Amino acid sequence: MRVKILGSAAGGGFPQWNCACPNCRALRAGTFRGKARTQAQLAISADMKSWFLLGASPDLRAQIEATPELHPREGIRQSPVAGAVLANADIDHVLGLLLLRELQPLQVYATDSIRRILSEDNSMFAMLQRVPGQVSWTDFAPQIPFRLLEPSGTDSGLRCRAFSLGTHYPAYVSAQRQGELNSGEASLGLILESSSGKSLAYMPAVPEIDGVLLKLFESADVLLFDGTFWSDDELIRIQGSGQTARQMGHVPVSSADGSLSRLAGLRRPRKIYIHINNTNPILNESGPEYAQVREAGWEIAEDGWQFDL
């Protein structure tokens, strides 16, 4: 399985259009020691021919253009993008689906709840189903492994298992609708397995770390983990108001019960922070937070990285 990191930032990207935090300001001024990043997006493939997206970011068009493996190869209208697996219904995670609407056959895997939010409540998503054989939705349930199939029905050789991580639906989902949905299907972590048995854990939004998750992470070969915020009150300190990281469903990197400390005992997986918010000081490669994370054995994902499992 080849894994390509097309985007490594949290929602908004880095820099974010309306943000003048110290990171965004310095990046725009050309004085920042660190890299710009697009919104979190992965692509995986078993054969380097057909690719599955994990999520569909608002930056997907530019991310595909920046990735030659995802360019059309045959005929006038074709794409190596075979489908997408959705882990939640956040705008930053699903908006890119609307960019893939040009009558291209795609398999989209989602929980029943996420599929209903998108295809029943948001009429724009009807653009994905204008003709037969365009987007095929396949429901999956947490914990139950499923195979990723190409639009033709061919088995890609990749398997996926989802784990329920959070119970909050996006704010745009009405209270009435939320009451009809299964809260365990709101926000998921994904485990992708290659035919060789190697596995990738993709966990961009983790509200808390418990023993079950620790065991799950220890069984993975690569862990791509929630690096959204350095501290719980990061946004409040920068903006003067707002929610804590934990209220937004993200365990912070630092502090005694942050991910750096809680995941320090993991032995097996290669550990990489992803989904990094533009305010997070670990983006600054000359800062102490960056040094602390690197010294603890973590890597910090960058757009364009790839690895094989």
Looking at beta carbons only, is 79 or 277 nearer to Zn ion? Answer: 277
Q: Compute the CA torsion angle 8, 10, 16, 22 (nearest 10 deg).
A: -90
Cβ closest to Zn ion, residue 123 vs residue 286: 286
Binding window for Zn ion (CB under 5 A); candidates: 38-46, 68-76, 131-139, 274-282: 274-282
235 binds Zn ion (CB under 5 A): no
Residues 18-77 that bind Zn ion (CB under 5 A): 19, 21, 24
How many Å apart are CA 32 and CA 10, to the nearest integer? 18
How far apart (Å, rounded) are the C-alpha atoms in residues 13 and 303? 11
Counting residues that bind Zn ion (by CB under 5 A) gives: 4
Nearer to Zn ion, 19 or 158 (CB): 19
Q: Shortest Cβ distance from residue 50 to Zn ion (Å)?
A: 36
Q: Report d(CA 8, CA 48) in Å as an integer.
A: 21
Region from 102-110, 161-169, 206-214, 271-279 binding Zn ion, contact rule CB under 5 A: 271-279
Task: Choose between 34 and 151: whose C-beta lies nearer to Zn ion.
Answer: 34
* Nearest to Zn ion of 33, 73 (CB atom): 33
Whether residue 183 contacts residue 232, with contact meaning beta carbons closer than 8 Å, is answered with no
CB 238, min distance to Zn ion, A: 8
Q: What residues numbered 8-27 form the site for Zn ion, per CB under 5 A?
A: 19, 21, 24
Nearest residue to 249 (alpha-carbon basis) of 179, 187, 171: 187
> Among 156, 194, 259, 278, which residue sits at the site for Zn ion (rule: CB under 5 A)?
278
| Nearer Cβ to Zn ion (12/184) | 12
Sorted by sequence, the CB contacts under 8 Å of residue 206 that are 6+ apart come out as 165, 166, 189, 213, 225, 226, 249, 250, 251, 259
User: In the complex, what is the shortest distance from the CB of residue 25 to Zn ion, in angstroms, rounded to a whole number?
Assistant: 8
Min CB(236)–Zn ion separation in Å = 14
Least distance (Å) between residue 148 CB and Zn ion: 35
SS3 306: strand
Looking at the chain, list the stretches that DSSP marks H as alpha helix, in order from N- to C-terminal side: 22-29, 60-65, 91-94, 112-121, 175-180, 211-218, 234-239, 259-262, 288-295
C-alpha 221, offset from chain centre = 17
For residue 103 the two structure tokens come to 């009558």
User: Based on CB atoms, which residue is closest to Zn ion, 5 or 19?
Assistant: 19
Choices 154-162, 197-205, 242-250, 275-283; region in contact with Zn ion by CB under 5 A: 275-283
For binding to Zn ion (CB under 5 A), which residues are involved? Answer: 19, 21, 24, 278
